[in-house]
Amino acid sequence: MRFPWILQRYILREMGKVFLLTAIAMTGVIGLGGGVLKVIKLGEMTPGQLAWLMALLLPVAAALTLPIAALFSASATYGRFSADNEFVACRSSGIDMRLLFLPTLALSLASATVTFLFISFLIPGMVRNLNEFVGTDVGAMIQQRLKRPKGITLGGRYRITADNAVMDPSDRNGVVLQRVSFVEVDDQEWVRFGSAHEISLRFDRLDDRLRVWGWMNGLSYYDRRDERFGDIARQDIPPNELPTLVPLEIKFLNLWQLLHFWRNPDDWREVRAETDRLRLALGRRALYEDLFTAWNDADGWVLDDGHVRLAIRSPSKPLRIPRDGGIELVSPTIEEVANGRSRTVRADRAVLELSRGDSLEESVIQIEAYGARVSAEGTSAGRAKLSLVPAAPPQALIDSVARLSTAELMNPAPDASDQDPLAKRRAQAAGVRGEVVRKIAATICERFAYSASVFVLVILGAALGVVFRGAQVVTAFGISFLPALLVIVLIVMGKQMAQNAPTHVGGLTVMWGGIVFIAALDVWFLTKVVRR
């Protein structure tokens, strides 16, 4: 028997026409009709950005529509082929029925491959290009976000609202916010809030992200931890990551990035941020312990970073402030030398703490003196509260903490209590790390499972079209949609389960179980039902 090339080309041509028409129609409806646009916060876009966005979103719509178009074309073509008794004629001519499904295998393999490439590489690249495009007009984006009731958030640490935002005439990469109110957050806790005359922001791009820093002028605030009001002429805003139009999440990484972060989860920004916070908390604890040890050995402290020298004495031992809040001194005497000037401060009490920086390198040792009497250059004056010139932490401490590996950071001391804030911080960091690993594994399996489902579903759609003789379009669509809906539901449900520690293995089983079930149906239909 000769191979039926003419018949194969005929079936492939008929399926190809239905596939192309269906794919174009569905891509247009879903991509340009607004289905995919719901992923994007349109309120933060300018009209020019929105116009360019339409072209970038087509690959997202295609990834959703190509599998359905292939499934529909296979079931419709083979259903009509069966309804016209073409199979009866082929069987009478002695043609092996299995050869008639080679066009379906080719279409299903091509659709599965294209879908995998789209969801693993093209769509993540589209998200990166979209953020880069929007990032070219950061000023407009910030102005758009200020119109929201929540204002803008910088790195999860500052929440800012402003009456007006204008481009900085002195710097093209700058924005000035006027008549500002702000909240400073530390681990979901409001620690300081108030208002400022203006905020100057500077921004640049770092590792496909937008980094923003700046300073606030004319601050009036309330500190909840110290339970006091204060005024500052200027306060710096350390570098923070500004959320982009489509925040970089695990689901937007390409396959190579997923595999990298799966092997090295400590490189992922959320894990790195938790590790940095743990490192900072450990450094803060080590600093206070070193200060207490130094006091016992020398009955005082000398803090000297090369720019500022603080010699501190007190008639009584320092006191710990609960929860690593700092150290309190009673009736201290402080000799300060900074900027070529010296002064002596005697106070009723003083509080020493490490500032809330993003790292030890960005933190400083701050001393607030209350009931202070200042003597300098033959003059003296009284102050209810005085902030001394801050000093940098010892470089040896910074280096020792920076050298700690992730395993050493996660390993608690033998006598550590479960109520220790460091123990809670370690548990939180370990939990975030495990969650990231599970999410990455679930995302990788989801992409492979979704692509594999396209292959088995197209074959099943063709087999069902033959069995049920789906000559009508509605019948063919129903035959196509039901098994696809079942598999997609199982994949989505399995991914959600796989992201949780107790159901991780069960979720992966559910995700692949639906595909195995459809593959078994393919074998049964092709070997038993279709041949009859």
Most confident of 58-72, 198-212, 451-465: 451-465
CA distances from 401 to 279, 415, 432, 435 (A): 7, 20, 21, 25
Most confident of 48-52, 339-343, 435-439: 435-439
CB atoms under 10 Å from CB of 40, counted, come to 18
Q: How confident is the model at residue 494 (pLDDT cuts 50, 70, 90)?
A: very high
Task: Kindly report, residue by residue over 503-521, the tens digit of the pLDDT.
Answer: 999 999 999 998 999 999 8
Q: How far is CA 294 from the centre of its chain?
A: 42
Q: How confident is the model at residue 437 (pLDDT cuts 50, 70, 90)?
A: very high
How far apart are alpha carbons 246 and 243 in whole angstroms? 8
Here the tokens at position 7 are 């018949």
In 3D space, the residue among 489, 493, 486 whose CA is nearest the CA of residue 517 turns out to be 486
How many helices (H) does the chain have, and how many strands (E)?
Answer: 14, 15
Apex 412 CA angle, 399 and 290, nearest 5: 45
State the pLDDT at residue 412: 75
More confident residue, 170 or 270: 270
Mean pLDDT of 289-317: 88
Mean pLDDT of 256-285: 91
State the pLDDT at residue 299: 77
Between β-strands 333-338 and 341-346, what pairing exists: parallel, antiparallel or unpaired? antiparallel
State the pLDDT at residue 160: 87
In 3D space, the residue among 500, 389, 376, 482 whose CA is nearest the CA of residue 437 turns out to be 500
β-bridge mates for residue 190, sequence order: 185
Reply yes or no on whether the pLDDT at 130 is more than 80: no
Query: Taking all residues of the chain, what is their mean pLDDT, rounded to a whole number?
Result: 82
More confident residue, 49 or 269: 269
How far apart are alpha carbons 156 and 152 in whole angstroms? 10
Q: How confident is the model at residue 152 (pLDDT cuts 50, 70, 90)?
A: confident
CB 503 within 8 Å of CB 109: no
Q: How far is CA 10 from the centre of its chain?
A: 49
Looking at residue 523, its amino acid is V
Here the tokens at position 369 are 């003196």
How far apart are alpha carbons 527 and 532 in whole angstroms? 9
How far apart are alpha carbons 180 and 306 in whole angstroms? 36
How far apart are alpha carbons 70 and 394 in whole angstroms? 65
State the pLDDT at residue 378: 75
CB atoms under 10 Å from CB of 431, counted, come to 12
State the pLDDT at residue 370: 92
Sequence-ordered list of residues with C-beta below 8 angstroms from that of 520, at least 6 positions apart, any chain: none
Q: How confident is the model at residue 310 (pLDDT cuts 50, 70, 90)?
A: very high
Mean pLDDT of 175-200: 84
Q: How far is CA 126 from the centre of its chain?
A: 16
Reply yes or no on whether the pLDDT at 125 is more than 70: yes
Residue 298, Cβ density class (10 Å: 0-12 exposed, 13-18 middle, ≥19 buried)? exposed
β-bridge mates for residue 204, sequence order: 211
Instruction: Round to the nearest angstrom and report the end-to-end CA distance of the chain.
Output: 21
State the pLDDT at residue 493: 95
Mean pLDDT of 414-440: 83
Q: Position of tokens 């370990």?
A: 430
Mean pLDDT of 254-279: 91
Its sign, for the CA torsion 98, 99, 104, 106, is positive
CB 397 within 8 Å of CB 286: yes
Residue 198, Cβ density class (10 Å: 0-12 exposed, 13-18 middle, ≥19 buried)? middle
CB 433 within 8 Å of CB 268: no
Mean pLDDT of 350-367: 85
- Residue 489 three-state SS: helix
Mean pLDDT of 471-499: 81
Q: How confident is the model at residue 132 (pLDDT cuts 50, 70, 90)?
A: low
Q: How confident is the model at residue 384 (pLDDT cuts 50, 70, 90)?
A: confident
CB 262 within 8 Å of CB 440: yes
Q: How confident is the model at residue 252 (pLDDT cuts 50, 70, 90)?
A: confident
- Residue 203 three-state SS: strand
Apex 513 CA angle, 526 and 438, nearest 5: 145
Q: What percent of the chain has pLDDT over 90?
A: 23
Q: How confident is the model at residue 42 (pLDDT cuts 50, 70, 90)?
A: very low
Most confident of 103-112, 132-141, 197-206: 103-112
Task: Note the pTM of the prediction, 2 decimals.
Answer: 0.75
State the pLDDT at residue 500: 92
Here the tokens at position 170 are 């002195």
Apex 271 CA angle, 266 and 275, nearest 5: 90
